[in-house]
Structure formats: C-alpha cells, structure tokens
Structure 1
Amino acid sequence: MANREDNLPDSDKDSGSSPQIIQGFVEQDLRSIISYFYQWEREKGDTPFLRQPYGNTWKTITWREAGDKARRLVTALQQMGLQPGDNVAMVSKNCYHWIITDLALMMGGFVSVPFYPNLTAKELNQVLLASEARVLFVGKLDDWENMKPGVPEGVTLIKFPHYEGNARIEAGLEWDKLVAKNEPIPGSPEPDLHDLFTILFTSGTTGTPKGVMLNHYQPAALIHNEKVNGNLIDFSTDDHRFFSFLPLNHIAERVIVEGASIVTGGTISFGEALHTFVQNLKDTEPTLLMAVPRIWAKFQLGILGRLPEKRLNFLLQIPLVGNLLKRKIIQGLGLNKARVMLTGAAPTPDSVKVFFQKLGINLQEVYAMTENTGGCTLMPLHDIRPGTVGKPMPNVEIKIDSQNQEVLMRAPWVMTGYYKDPERTAQVVENGWLHTGDQGEMTPDGYLKLTGRVSDTFKSTKGKFIIPAPIEWGFAKNSYIEQLCVVGFSIPQPLALAVLSEIGQKTPLEIVKASLAQTLSEVNAELMNHERVKAVVITKEPWAVENGVLTPTLKIRREVLNRKYAERYGVWFERSEPVIWED
C-alpha cells in the first residue's frame, strides 16, 4: 500500500503519540459524541431516538426525553459523591436505559466501564476490582443470581427497571426513582477530548481481560474521518435506522450503532429476546446492520433450512423468479431497506460472503479491534475481494512484521493504553504501531489478507507449524457444520473438532458423514502435507458462551477445547475413519 507518512507531522512519524492531523484537518475540527447528541436534542428534540420493544408494542424515547433523563441521572450520581473522572460500571443487555445511562456518564464527565451481560460471578468480580468502579448499573440480564456474588463489598448498585422475561434484580437503588426525584443538570457540558471516555475490558480468547482506555479523542477522530471520507455513512440523508443486538460494550456496537446513531441523528431499535429477534429486525428495517460472522451463518442456515442450496441456486438462475426470490428472502430478513451490511469481530469465510452475494447482499468486512477503536480495514462495497478483509481506511497505515508476519497498524485512534497496565501497553504499542496479534499479508493492490493468529499457531509432533484459521475457513462451505476448530499440537497431523448445524442434526447420519468426508478431501487437496487434517471429529456438547468455549462475541477459545479434549487427540488420530463422532 502507499505509505501515508507524508500526511503526518514529523514529530509523530517515529513517536508513540497519536497523529493530530487527519488528511488536512486539525484537532479543533473534532467533536465529542455528546456534542452531536446536544445538536439533535436542539434540532429534532421531539423525534424518536430510542425504540424499545415490549411484546408487540414499541416504547419510543425522543431526543429531548433522553436528554432530560440523562441530565437527571447526572445529578443523582453527583449527589452520591461521584466526581468527574470517576469510573462507573454497567452490566446489562442492550436496552434504552443502557444508552441513556451512557449519555449521563458523558455529560457528567464520568468514565463508563461497561461489561458483557453474560459474565460469571468470578469474571464480574475480576473486572469490577480491576476497574475500581464505585457504582455498578445492573440491568437486563439472564442470570443475576449466579452473577451477583461477584460484586465486591462497597460497590453501590443501581438497577434498571425490570424487563419481562429477564432476571429480577432485588437489591439496589432504582433507576426510575433516581431520575424522577432529581433535577436535571443545567446546560450542555462537554468533555475535553483528552479526558478518559471509557474503559472496555476485552473478552479475549486467551488470558485475562485487559481494560482498553479510550479518550473522547479516539472516537471523535474516527467519526470525523468517516464524515470527511464517507466510507460507510451517507450523510446526505437523514434516514438512519440502527438495530442494536450485539453487546453494547463491544467496540463495534459502541461505535457503529450507538456512536453512528448519535452522529447522524438516527434511531436505535433494540432486540427484545432471542425468540423475537427476527420480528424485531423486520419491524426495524435498519439502514445499517452490523453482525458477527456466526449471525450471518445462522441467517444462511435458516434460508437453506427452508430451501436446499441446489434448489436455491437453480431458482436464482431464472431471471424473473430469481429476482422475486431475492427480494422475498431479503424482506424476510428485514433487510430490504439496508444500505450497509457489515460483518466483523472475526474473519468471515468466503463461502458465507459468496452465498449472500448471490442474493444481492454485499457483506462488507470490517477488520478492527478494541485497541484501535474499531477502525482499521474495510471492504469496499463495489470492489469485494475474496480472501481479504478489505483495504486500510483513510489515515490507517499497515505494515507486516517480517519476523512473524504479524499485522501492525497505526492511526490517530489507537488506544491510550491498558488501564493501570503500562507493561502490557508497551508490549502492544511500540513507536505508535499497534501489534494486532493477527498474521497477514498485503496484496499488490492494497488489500489485507489475514492468515491466522500469532497465538493460535502450534507445532505438530513432526515439528511443523500449523496455522489453523485458513484451514478452518475451507470447511465453512459445508452447511452441515456450524462451528469448527482445528487442533492438534500433540499429534503428527491436525484434527478438526466440529459441531453440527441444525440442518446437519436433522439430516441422516450417512449423508452427513459422506458430505463431511468429501469436504475434508477437498480442503486437504489445497494444503501442504503437514497441514492436512486427519479427521473431522463431531463433539457431543455444543460450544457456547455458557460453557466457556465461546467468548461473549462468539469467537472460539481454542485453549478451552484443548484442555477438554487434548487427552483424546492421540486416540482419534489413530482411527482410520475420516469422520468421527465423539463417544
């Protein structure tokens, strides 16, 4: 790719500081997220901002109502003795109370520390102690009873109003009462851009969570970069609808849904529950949808469950029928108004992207991480390249480490550092370059191709290094597989552990076996001898967040599977069948 160092001040070319000039505009042009909120509160105060489903009805919160409630909540927190710069934690599934609370924390100069809503008591205790938060907002949760023992003594609880179908929170101050009994703070206070905005504890596929610190500057720079260069958002229209269902403490949802809605003056609609997801999505008709690869794969499997792939491909080839079918499928997903459809948080297999392309849906891959505020590469809408995760966004520099092929990136929105962990910060950010932990290469035309994770690479007993990710992507085209993980550090050849999809579970065993054996043969034909997978092993237990195999963002924790199955790798390797069912 072209080097962008000419756009950077001399003082930033080799330093660890964030560049302050972004393609010709200076820091004074940047605006905090809360400043955009104040703008829409003034200009369109009586129009909908937040939409919360309750069964078949939707509760609507206007911009003015949200601002009033947030200002009252600031007063309540100040009455409790909180000062600007104090850390305030939140644990809840997505809902309108989450957004209003976050607005209040911005208005009051507090630092928001949101957590995943499915933490165990031990995990909650770990991040609460690390965050040093004195107050914890507790909201829409599935299992508060098993989570609450993790709350340390001395932490004040504030509970959101009860959401039907979710756990009842008995202890704590009531959010509604605090809002009702306090007067709103006067004016529209704005933070200094270099004040701490949020601490995001990453879910992590390995190790302990790290608290990524972002100042108000980082999202402001990323937002302004988008406004100037227009990678995703069409700022010429005022029709922006967002559907919020991925955890709001995840950087993608925080920036692409919460941040983008506030910047554009758009509305956020929430999903009520898993069983209402499809209907909530249809009712919303979002103009932008961000989903992780597993969600898109679920959509794909849902379509194929109703219309087998051979039949679908045949019908799509008939001009009139194909166009009608595409429209029906897209409308059935609630995506008929979507202008932007994103996939990210983990690499999306090409087979999934190709499947949706056939339906007229171009999935744009976003490659980023919490440490760079969710901004690194983006797949161009009209120039999608299979096998890559798109091109560097404007003002993003990428280089590949010659020693281990690690992807290094630099941009004005790289994190401030890890909370109270300068050693880890120094390991990850060197001379302004963020070490992503991913391995990759740049194509001649400037696209980034990911080849694996530095930490996932393992050595077989033959002494050969195995990079699992590219092997795993080859299996994604088989609709009988929902999840797959290549393992085998203690055997001569790798194995592929897998979980069957709903389609696979309903299909006769012999058909599934033959299909998986065929896919295994096709994948191995593209691999070097030492990489070839010995067998596909179908595990009994599904992989989920609840049993620790998946992170809250649905990435697979390979080391958990290794701990669970490593003793059996040798036995499975010695078997002659290409497809094995765990007994």
Structure 2
Amino acid sequence: MSSAQSLVDNRPVSVAHLFLSRVEATPDREAYRYPVPAGDGAADAEQWHSLTWAQTAERVRAIAAGLLALGVRPEERVAISSSTRVEWILADLGAMCAGAATTAVYPSTHADETVYILADSGSRAIFVENAVQLDKFASDIERLPGLGHAILFDPGADLPRVEGLEVLSLAELEKRGTAYLDQHPDAVEETVRAIEREQLATLIYTSGTTGRPKGVRLVHDCWSYQGVAQEASGLLRSDDVQFLWLPLSHVFGKALISGQVRTGHVMAVDGRIDRIITNLPAVRPTLMASAPRIFEKVYNGIAGKARAEGGAKYKIFLWAAKVARAYARTEQESRAATGRRRVPLSLAVQHAVADRLVYGKIRAAFGGNLRGSVSGSAALAPDIGYFFAGAGVHILEGYGLTETSAACTVNPVDDYRVGTVGRPLPGTEVRIAEDGEVLLRGPGVMRGYHNLPEKTAEVLESDGWFRTGDIGEVDKDGYVRITDRKKDVFKTSGGKYVAPTEIEGRFKAICPFVSNILVIGDGRNFCSALIALDESAIMSWAASQGHGDRSYAETVSSPQIRELIDGFVQRVNGDLQRWQTIKKFAVLPRDLDIEHGELTPSLKVKRPVVEREYARVIDEMYEGAREA
C-alpha cells in the first residue's frame, strides 16, 4: 500500500477533528490573512491582518458554542449567505464543530430561490453578510417556520428587526458562546468527539439550470477525505500561501478549506473579483485556484495591451506566445514519451530570450511565487494552457462536481498535461462506461440528493458508482480527459454528432476578444454560434481603430466588428470537419452575466437560459437557410 493511500485510508472522522488537531499541532502559526480597510475607507490603503491557528480556534469555539446556546443540534442545518471572506470560514468551521450541517447559499441567489433553499434544507439559523442578504427572506419569514436566528457579519449601525426572527451580530453570537463555555467548558470538544463519519455536514445546492436546484448531501467523511487526499496527492504543502477568492458557497472553494485545515498552510481570503489583480502582488501566493474564465481574461488583457502598444512590442508578444506554446507542448510530449523533459536547443534558446522579454512580467503579475494554479469548473482552452505553461505559470486542471465534494482528479504539479484533468486523487476510482460517460466512485461521492430519492437513483448506482453526465477517456498513464458534457453533445439534422465545447475552446484560444461563445446546432442543418465579446478588449481595439467615441453596444453591432470576428470564425473553421463548421454567428449586444441568470456563480454558462434569451436571434440565423 502506498503512503498516499495509507493516509487516505486512515483519515480522521471529520474536518472538525482535523481542525482541533491542527490547532493543537501548530497553534502559533499563521492560518488566515484578510484585508481590512484603512480608517478613511480607501481601497488602496487596505492592510492585510492575520489570525493564528490559536486565534482562529478561539473564535471558532465561541461560534460553535454560540450555536449550541441557540439550541442548534447535530445535523440541523445552519445556512451561510455571504461573499467569500474570513467570517464565512469561521462560521462554517463553527457550524461543523457544533455538529451542525452547513447550507451554502450564493450571495447572488435571488430572493425566491433563497427562500426555497432555506425551506427545503430546513435551516434553523443563517449567517448573512449584511442587511441586503437578510432582506431576501425577511419578508417571507412565514414560509420558514423552522428558521429562528439570523447572524450578521456586517450588522451596520442598528440591527434590523424582523418579526418572528432573532437577529444578532456575529460579535453577539461569539459573546453568547463565550458565556456558554464558561458554564460548559468542554462542550465543543465533546460535540466534535460525538461526530460520526456518515453524519450530514453540508447541503450544497446545484445551480439549477433547469427547474429547482437540488440539495447535494455531503457527509463529514466527504470533507475529511478531500482534506487528506489533496495533501496526499502533493497538491498542497504546509509551506504554501494560498490566495482564495472563489465563492465559498461553491463546492470548489469549500473543498479548499478542508485541504488547508489538513496541511495548515496560510490562506489569504478576499472574494472581491475586482481586487484579484491588485491582491496577487500583495499576497504573492504559491498556490491559487481559479475558473478558466479568469485565465482567459488575463490572456486577453495581455494580448490586448501588446496590440495597443503596436509595432515591435506586438510582434515580440506574438513571437513569444508562439514560442511558449511550442516549448510547453514539446516539453510535455517528451515527458509523456520518455519520462524526461527535453526540447531542441534552438527552441530552448528562443524560450530563454522570450522569458527575459515577456514571461517574467507575466509571472510577476501573479505575484512571482506561484508554483501552481488549480483550474476547475469548466474546460480551459488547450492553447491558453500551453501559453501559460510556456510562460512558467503552471495551470493544473482538475475535475469534480458538487456531487463529488469537488476534486476527483487533478494534474500533479511536477507532471501536468495540458488538455487533461489529471489523475484520480488517492482513493477515487474512474471508469468509462460503454457510451463514454465518466463514472466515479470514492469517499467524496455524495450520499444523495436531499429529499429526492428518485433523482438520486438516476445517477447513483447501488455499488457506489456515480454517473457524472460527462463524456471522457483515460489514457495509458491514467490521465483523464473530459471531451464534453453528455447532455451538451448534439446531433445535427444530417445525423452528425457535434461536441460544442471543443469548438468553443478552439475559438477562445485564437480570438482575444471573446468572452463567451455558445455553438448551436441541435436538430439543425448546420452549426451557428452566439458570441459575446470582452468589453475591455474590444473597446481597446475600437479605440485603436479610431472608433473610441462609440458605446459598447454601438461598437459590437458595427460592420467592423462583424468583419473582425468573422476572420476568427473562418480560422477556426479551417481546422474543423465540414459538419462542425460555424456557418453563421451573431455578436451579442452585451456579455453574459450572473445577474441575468446566464452564468452560474462559478461562471459556467447556463446554455438553456441563453438559448431561451436569444431564441429569436438563433431562429433568424436559420430562417430560409440551407446547409452550405
């Protein structure tokens, strides 16, 4: 038995157990960093404060005891509706140490769905970021008879009053918890000792692209497994500094906390997406997790800036990008074939020159210390992956679902392969069904959908295998490749199957102006596409062409933009089979976003929503059309 497998097999009962062990082992080490604004509130004057593990434990024990004082009992649900911040983590750890189960609610969730989640989960208490989150359900409190308490992270000058609901600040909850511990000093430790592996730990609701969201039941053993498996895989180290901005209501962000508690490394926490670029040089992380969209935006930004500078600088960037991709591809192919990284001398010399001119600046923008950045929730275009790999920014694609408590596979830091999602974590099995569907089995797999036994039976086999709904393959070295979403693969009226995400990924790799693209064609006689452009990139290009006086809507509807994007469409079509080619496309008047319900909080495109929103645009592309 390998040491990694031994670690997994002998994992603790829960993250609550992991947490108490971590505090005992390294009480004085730094645990968390978080930004605190200066007195004048200026964002650029923010300071990063720290909590040691001992200080974290003091607050977590007070929160846990406060929940016990409110009458919360094992497996009863405690919801959290907040952006990513250190208080989210403290509340989650406090709920787990009280034996309760966390119900994760995205702060972007609209009021009706928030009430549905709170009611379906049977939540007894809820942590909310501020009055805005409280207002989402306060007027419907009669639909939530089991909800008795709301705890505000940012209470404001005066606590809101809601009839039938006790509203208190986080500070007040901790104060009550401290008083409770004065009377019951061992209450938290006794509660943690009583936790069992199969006890419910979390309900995370799927984003609900069709119908109501489903509550995924994840037990304490799921999270303990995640923590230990991430360490055993070599993904996390005790000396890491991780920058966390992902939504903690998403399973990806939540799983990272399990790994961090296990290894005890430093976590810098700030969920403000508009501060990512500013925070990276300040935090100087060794590790960061992200969604592919962030890397696509960074790449587009770099390319756009080089284009705006024009002349020799733009030519140098294009040359350096080509060298980066060639170097990374050659190096990885050599490693896969021979076990050693080898590149021709001429390519190595070009790479060294490009590193001095271009790549060093890219690494500096990420803080200069990044040894790996985990990418998940959607596929990363291979050409973008090779670009960053060649520039020394190592993007480690992984794969997982809400139903598997996040990561099932991940690329190793020292042998990652662009275009794959890596190898299974220790303790997780991967099998490919006859129709190509990826099946998973392991400790991280959910125990079912909350109150939905029929839906559970559709995806969870009696022998533990979970049907992911994704199409994929496993190579001879055990690396998994996800080729498409089973439900997204469509068949044209001519009987040809098309995997849209493959085409979309190719387009994103060559078009620096694209933000989102959806390839359409199910039951149609040819493929078309809806294309949304990145505002900053396309407006910069328009200004360089003397059209800086136009609005975004005017710009994207102009003939010049149509011609520009058509050039990229034709380039993609040149590498596709005839039935895969994009015959027609429409540039959308705005980008897709969460507010219009077109993206999930983890930035995945909700295809059915977008297709309904732009049904008329799609129909117009097919009116009177015949296959070319």
TM-score (norm 2): 0.81
Number of the residue aligned with 1:88 = 78
Number of the residue aligned with 2:43 = none
Number of the residue aligned with 1:18 = none
Number of the residue aligned with 1:366 = 398
Q: Taking structure 1 as reference, are residues 140 and 341 closer, same or farther at Cα in structure 2, changes over 3 Å only? A: farther
Paired AA for residue 303 in structure 2: L
Deviation string for 1:288-321 (max 9, x for gaps)? 1000001111221222232236431435747356
Sequence identity percentage: 29
Structure 2 Cα separation of the partners of residues 79 and 333 of structure 1: 44
Deviation string for 1:79-128 (max 9, x for gaps)? 22221221111100111211111111111111111111100001101211
Structure 2 Cα separation of the partners of residues 163 and 452 of structure 1: 45
2:107 is the counterpart of 1:117? yes
- Normalized per residue, which structure has more helix? 2
Number of the residue aligned with 2:209 = 205
2:234 is the counterpart of 1:231? yes
- Report the count of equivalent residues: 551
Structure 1 Cα separation of the partners of residues 122 and 93 of structure 2: 21
- Say which SS state the counterpart of residue 58 (structure 1) adopts: strand
Deviation string for 1:195-229 (max 9, x for gaps)? 1111111224334211111111122223333444x
Structure 2 Cα separation of the partners of residues 24 and 67 of structure 1: 28
1:388 and 1:447 in contact (8 A); partners too: yes
- Say which SS state the counterpart of residue 414 (structure 1) adopts: coil
Gaps of 5+ in 2: 38-45, 308-313, 324-349, 543-557
1:240 and 1:261 in contact (8 A); partners too: no
2:449 is the counterpart of 1:418? yes
Number of the residue aligned with 1:263 = 262
Gaps of 5+ in 1: 1-6, 8-20, 577-583
Structure 2 Cα separation of the partners of residues 557 and 131 of structure 1: 24
- Say which SS state the counterpart of residue 61 (structure 2) adopts: helix
Q: Taking structure 1 as reference, are residues 288 and 174 closer, same or farther at Cα in structure 2, changes over 3 Å only? A: same
Number of the residue aligned with 2:545 = none
2:510 is the counterpart of 1:506? no
Q: Taking structure 1 as reference, are residues 23 and 273 closer, same or farther at Cα in structure 2, changes over 3 Å only? A: closer
Q: Taking structure 1 as reference, are residues 34 and 310 closer, same or farther at Cα in structure 2, changes over 3 Å only? A: farther
2:521 is the counterpart of 1:488? yes
- Say which SS state the counterpart of residue 376 (structure 1) adopts: strand
Number of the residue aligned with 1:442 = 474
2:31 and 2:50 in contact (8 A); partners too: yes
Structure 2 Cα separation of the partners of residues 527 and 395 of structure 1: 39
- Say which SS state the counterpart of residue 71 (structure 2) adopts: coil
Number of the residue aligned with 1:401 = 433
1:211 and 1:419 in contact (8 A); partners too: yes
Number of the residue aligned with 1:44 = 26
Number of the residue aligned with 1:312 = 317
- Aligned Cα root-mean-square deviation (Å): 2.9
2:345 is the counterpart of 1:342? no
Question: Out of 134, 156, 169, which is 2:148 matched to?
Answer: 156
> How many Å apart are 1:29 and its aligned residue?
4.3
2:198 is the counterpart of 1:194? yes
Paired AA for residue 404 in structure 2: N
> How many Å apart are 1:510 and its aligned residue?
6.0
Q: What are the residue-to-residue correspondences of 1:102-181 with 2, within 5 Å?
A: 102-139=92-129, 145=135, 148-149=138-139, 152-154=143-145, 155-162=147-154, 172-181=167-176
Q: Taking structure 1 as reference, are residues 28 and 261 closer, same or farther at Cα in structure 2, changes over 3 Å only? A: closer
TM-score (norm 1): 0.87
Q: Taking structure 1 as reference, are residues 367 and 77 closer, same or farther at Cα in structure 2, changes over 3 Å only? A: same
Question: Out of 613, 621, 626, which is 1:564 matched to?
Answer: 613
Number of the residue aligned with 1:378 = 410
Question: Out of 410, 423, 445, which is 1:391 matched to?
Answer: 423
Q: Taking structure 1 as reference, are residues 304 and 505 closer, same or farther at Cα in structure 2, changes over 3 Å only? A: same
Q: Taking structure 1 as reference, are residues 514 and 405 closer, same or farther at Cα in structure 2, changes over 3 Å only? A: same
> How many Å apart are 1:475 and its aligned residue?
0.5
Structure 1 Cα separation of the partners of residues 385 and 209 of structure 2: 24
Question: Out of 166, 177, 184, which is 1:182 matched to?
Answer: 177
1:548 and 1:560 in contact (8 A); partners too: yes
